[in-house]
Structure 1
Amino acid sequence: MSAPHGNAASPFRQPRAVWAVAFACVISFMGIGLVDPILPALAKNLHATPSQVSLLFSSYLIVTAVAMLFVGWFSSRFGAKRTLVIGLAVIVVFAALAGTSGSINGIVGFRAGWGLGNALFIATSLAVIVASASGGFGGAIILYETALGLGIAVGPLLGGELGGISWRGPFFGVAVLMAIALVATAVFVPDLPKPKHVTSPLAPLKALRHRGLLTMGIMALLYNWGFFTMLGYAPYPMELDAHQLGLVFTGWGLLVAAFSVFFAPRLQARYGTAPVLYVNLAGLSVVMAVIAAGVATPTVVIVAVIVSGAFIGINNTLTTQAVMLVSPVERPVASSAYGFLRFIGGGLAPYAAGKLADATDLSVPFYLGAATFLLAIPVLASGHGLLREAEQHTDEGESVVPTITPVGKPASGNTPRIIVAVSAQAKAAAIVDAAARLARDTHSPLEVVHVQLTAVVEELAADTETPDQARAAVTAHLDRLAEQGVPATGQILTTVGDHSAAGRVLARHAADTGARAIAVGRSPHGPLTQFAEGSFTTALTHAATCTVVLVAPDNAPRQLTSATLPALRDGAA
């Protein structure tokens, strides 16, 4: 969000620990798409009906859902690294066992074990990457998003290629790749500090008593019902072999990744979370209805499935953001509660779809999926007010994001202040010191705003730092400024989502306090990274009603708006 003057840092210059977990993430994200191309082959070779094969999804997702209630307790009790290693080991064992099985019931059972390992892994992977990253969390998030995109896109392609050789190929492929990831994680990922307190296994269920979290969770359940109906049953009416199915779902996966990472934040910034979700859910309903109506025409199903990837990518990201915005509980607890509900929906849908298809015809499950997408809209609307308030200020005195929390003594006097915005970066102190020189030149008090961001990547969320770490960072800045004789106050800005959202919140805070100027540092990221995560400085400059100044250590400040430094001294800004 701010950085000293210098060349843009590459998000791919990371420690080996980050690369080890990122590789495991690629394989993990391959998990579901890898199996899709071999569904018809499984039914044929194992003499199973589509409804029996669909249990591969149901057992995997239902076990994942139940396990999500306990992974927070497990991780806080045994540590993030041990949780990752155990999760990867469980996946390796059960993926290999699925490949050796000779019956559909055996594979269904082993997929359940695979789901347990998956829950342990996905609940901690993003947090471990963020904690292990060097040079700030921004690059780690981009790397995680890259792993997500590769896994979603390459999974079906690899599944199609291996499935063309044998239906056992994808299972053994996952086992081998995850074994490599397991060794790399065990060797390169250091032991990370455990949380100060152990999370109760009942905490996620208790969290669902909060109306906002429960509402968004039910919406996610309905959405995932439709999503996994499509994923589990669309391969059959396409009438393609494993290789061709792999290519179709690769196209689908590319759209999921692109719209999740690049387009969802842009749409949210322009129109708001709830309006985009309304339109998106309606779009998914239309796509599912098209599949249902054209179920006898393979080309219609193929095109509709690929197009659905755009809607699914947007929905995955914004639904998670909505959950984090309205949840008044800790992020891991909110993620576990939300994961429980959404995976339950995904697990029940293929089973119900199979029973409906057996009793009626193949179009009925898709019509039901279209209906669940539509039903999710009024459920979301029932929590619209909570979501809107969370995106703006506070709700009934309870802290929700975005929030501004004072640190240290409050500001005294009416002199317009200089605000400097920094985040959890290695050289944030240099940015603050450069802003302090500007404050001295304009005879202004300085306010240090430390931005604590909750990163959201598709269906996962992680705090980039703890509240104690954010407060310690602000306190360190204030202590150093006091030694320099610079009057200063501190704030922590907590927000969810991309950097552009934080920029708009800071602009509003500056306007509310009558700030003279806002000082920011240069972004350490290149254009692609800034586009993916949102540009803090661009959003701030567009929204600010005061002067925005770009500062860098050992260099004169450069203003991004039309005001000049003399104008700042005279108070004209």
Structure 2
Amino acid sequence: MNQQPGNNSIWNQPKAVWAIGFASIIAFMGLGLVDPILPAIAEKLDASPSQVTLLFTSYNLVMAIAMLITGTISSRLGIKWTLMCGVVIIALFSALGGSSGGIWELVWLRGGWGLGNALFVATALSAIVSFSRSGVAKAIILYEAAIGLGISVGPLLGGSLGSISWRGPFFGVACLMGLAFLLLLFMMPARHPAAASPNAAAPVKRTSLLDPFRAMKYPALLVLGIAALLYNFGFFTLLAYAPFVMHLNERGLGYVFLGWGLLLAVTSVFMAPKLERKLGTIKAMCLMLTLFALTLIAMGIWTSTREVIIVAVILAGAFLGNNNTLITTVVMHAAPVERSTASAAYSFLRFLGGAAAPFFAGKLAEWFNSHVPFYVGGGFVLVSVLFILANRRHLKHIDEAGAAH
């Protein structure tokens, strides 16, 4: 069948894709939302930096574990209702977080937020790919753009509302999630319109709790998951600990992480596909991760120079944006399993790294000094590069598929 020119444009999408994309932006606001208010939370709730960074640890740990059950839930509830359940849980726990009275209560509530995010995130990627009219690669770029916008807007919202009260950002996300719920309710069909999309998948079969673990028997997926676990030590060291060494107010931190998120969003959409074509997927990933590791090491050397830290944080967004799109694309082709199962297995591993890193970074600063967390984070990222290169043979088919494409 001949298609009209431009039919497969990344912008030519059904309403469902745009509804999921908007909800993804709001969901990922939660990742960067607390960055500008971490020092304020520490001050107002009389908590240490390592206690405050537990807001990332509980969030990511619950997400990692919950990723294992998302496939089972979505295969029974369906994509639409799984997404909406995730949105409701995020709205509920963010509102409760804004009402909390102590650091430990807030840490537990962030864990509940992580449960909602797991249901949403694991389902959103496969949903956008499934509903999209423009092919898997462009659908992933659209998803990564939504993530980038959410991560960038989150700190801006957090800084603006946080300058009024540290509770403001939590209530703000709850309200926005209510809007996302309405968009999904009215703009997304209850069932996948299989005949309407060239990427439509067969009816979803019910998955078991063991499927993500079975998926890890495929070496390529396991290699990518372990690599993500390692480089997330650096990623979440930057997110969770950098705010404490910049010595800026809430608005100032919001603007810094806005710049970081904007670079992440722009590079994930426009630069990552060019790097993939020019260097190949695996080489491009290794280059971006190496540059990110060097950036963290530079932050360790010049921790006391605020201007260096600010520039390094913003610049890191470019390296992470490219890598996120590249590795997400790779994961979708890494193993002959359902996309949602591959995403769950991979996300379980990577969020384990995201759970350990924030608390570990805070403790390293307490045990040694403020330089050490960045050195250690950079070291973990370099180890992830070496791990990918050492297991390159398992990823050979991915580069060959990219070259053929």
Q: Same fold (TM over 0.5)?
A: yes
Contact 2:297-2:374 within 8 A present in 1 as well: yes
Name the amino acid aligned to 1:175: A
Q: 1:130 to 1:49 in 2, by over 3 A?
A: same
More helix by share: 2
Q: 2:227 aligns with which of 219, 233, 236?
A: 219
Which secondary structure does the structure 1 equivalent of 2:113 belong to?
helix
Runs of 5+ unmatched residues, structure 1: 393-401, 403-500, 507-573
Match of 1:93 in 2: 92
Which secondary structure does the structure 2 equivalent of 1:201 belong to?
coil
CA shift, 1:135, in A, is 8.1
2-structure distance, mates of 1:178, 1:152: 15
2-structure distance, mates of 1:59, 1:179: 23
Name the amino acid aligned to 1:381: L
CA shift, 1:142, in A, is 6.3
Which secondary structure does the structure 1 equivalent of 2:209 belong to?
coil
Match of 1:374 in 2: 382
1-structure distance, mates of 2:79, 2:395: 31
CA shift, 1:76, in A, is 0.6
Which secondary structure does the structure 2 equivalent of 1:326 belong to?
coil
Q: Provide the aligned length of Structure 1 versus Structure 2.
A: 396
Higher relative contact order (CA 8 A, sep 6+): 2
Contact 2:140-2:328 within 8 A present in 1 as well: no
In the alignment, does 2:393 pair up with 1:352?
Answer: no
Match of 1:3 in 2: 3
In the alignment, does 2:395 pair up with 1:505?
Answer: no
Name the amino acid aligned to 2:109: F
1-structure distance, mates of 2:131, 2:216: 31
1-structure distance, mates of 2:133, 2:398: 31
CA shift, 1:261, in A, is 1.4
Contact 2:145-2:268 within 8 A present in 1 as well: no
Match of 1:71 in 2: 70
Match of 1:125 in 2: 124
Name the amino acid aligned to 1:227: F
Superposed CA RMSD: 2.3
Q: Deviations over 1:4-31 (max 9, x none)?
A: 25x7787556554333322211111211
CA shift, 1:281, in A, is 1.9
CA shift, 1:370, in A, is 0.9
CA shift, 1:207, in A, is 1.7
CA shift, 1:83, in A, is 0.3
CA shift, 1:258, in A, is 1.3
Question: For 1:109-148, what aligned pairs fall within 5 Å after superposition?
Answer: 109-132=108-131, 144-148=143-147
Match of 2:198 in 1: none
Q: 1:136 to 1:262 in 2, by over 3 A?
A: closer
In the alignment, does 2:310 pair up with 1:311?
Answer: no
Stretch moving more, 214-223 or 329-338? 329-338
Q: 2:216 aligns with which of 204, 208, 225?
A: 208
Runs of 5+ unmatched residues, structure 2: 193-201
Name the amino acid aligned to 1:203: D
1-structure distance, mates of 2:36, 2:377: 21
Contact 1:325-1:387 within 8 A present in 2 as well: no
More strand by share: 1
Contact 1:326-1:386 within 8 A present in 2 as well: no
Q: Deviations over 1:67-123 (max 9, x none)?
A: 111101110111111101110110010000000001111111110000000010011
Match of 1:287 in 2: 295
Name the amino acid aligned to 1:190: P
Question: For 1:413-492, what aligned pairs fall within 5 Å after superposition?
Answer: none
In the alignment, does 2:271 pair up with 1:274?
Answer: no
2-structure distance, mates of 1:341, 1:216: 9
2-structure distance, mates of 1:57, 1:358: 18
Q: 1:59 to 1:266 in 2, by over 3 A?
A: same
Contact 1:216-1:383 within 8 A present in 2 as well: no
CA shift, 1:43, in A, is 0.6
Contact 2:9-2:134 within 8 A present in 1 as well: no
Q: Deviations over 1:262-307 (max 9, x none)?
A: 1111111111122222222221111111111111111111111111
TM-score norm. by structure 1 comes to: 0.65
Name the amino acid aligned to 2:245: P
Contact 2:63-2:117 within 8 A present in 1 as well: yes
